[in-house]
């Protein structure tokens, strides 16, 4: 049913994304193999961005899962010193931006959610 002209590029992009995510985890001082294990990979990602592991529960809540996923992707972007524009790239052009994050010169700056600014009122 599926022709090789569809399957071959899909497999190639999938392999590139898997390796890029592995590299992102390693850059963040986490085990790269953790990116391959369902659910555990999200727990490790939450650790990378500085959120508690119980946030995994939000993934099972409709609508909230979309909000949390976007929030975590934004925190991942900020954890590597990137801005909101890069977050949009990770969301809409993930097959380009995850390899840029994994194979590029971006370095892990620490959990973005741990960086709190003091606002005085």
Domain that holds residue 68: 4-114
Establish if 55 belongs to a structural domain. Answer: yes
Based on the structure, what is the number of domains in the chain?
1
Residue 38 DSSP symbol: T
Distance CA 103, CA 88 (A): 18
> Residues 51, 76: contact at Cβ < 8 Å?
no
Q: Give pLDDT tens digits for 38-63.
A: 999 999 999 999 999 999 999 999 99
Establish if 23 belongs to a structural domain. Answer: yes
Instruction: Report the share of the chain in percent with pLDDT over 90.
Output: 83
Establish if 50 belongs to a structural domain. Answer: yes
Establish if 97 belongs to a structural domain. Answer: yes
Distance CA 43, CA 25 (A): 12
Q: Give pLDDT tens digits for 91-108.
A: 999 999 999 999 999 999
pLDDT at 1: 58
pLDDT at residue 120 greater than cutoff 70:
no
Establish if 82 belongs to a structural domain. Answer: yes
Distance CA 59, CA 120 (A): 34
Establish if 15 belongs to a structural domain. Answer: yes
Longest dimension (CA), the chain: 63
Q: Give pLDDT tens digits for 3-27.
A: 778 888 899 999 999 999 999 999 9
Establish if 120 belongs to a structural domain. Answer: no
Establish if 121 belongs to a structural domain. Answer: no
């Amino acid at each position: 049913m599926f022709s090789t002209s569809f399957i071959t590029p899909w497999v190639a992009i999938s392999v590139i994304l898997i390796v890029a995510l592995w590299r992102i985890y390693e850059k963040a001082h986490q085990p790269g193999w953790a990116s391959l294990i369902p659910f555990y990979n999200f727990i490790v990602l939450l650790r990378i961005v500085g959120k508690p592991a119980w946030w995994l529960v939000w993934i099972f809540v409709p609508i909230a899962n979309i909000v949390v996923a976007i929030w975590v992707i934004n925190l991942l972007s900020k954890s590597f010193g990137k801005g909101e524009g890069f977050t949009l790239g990770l969301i809409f052009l993930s097959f380009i931006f995850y390899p840029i994050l994994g194979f590029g010169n971006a370095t892990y700056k620490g959990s973005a959610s741990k960086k709190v600014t003091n606002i005085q009122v």
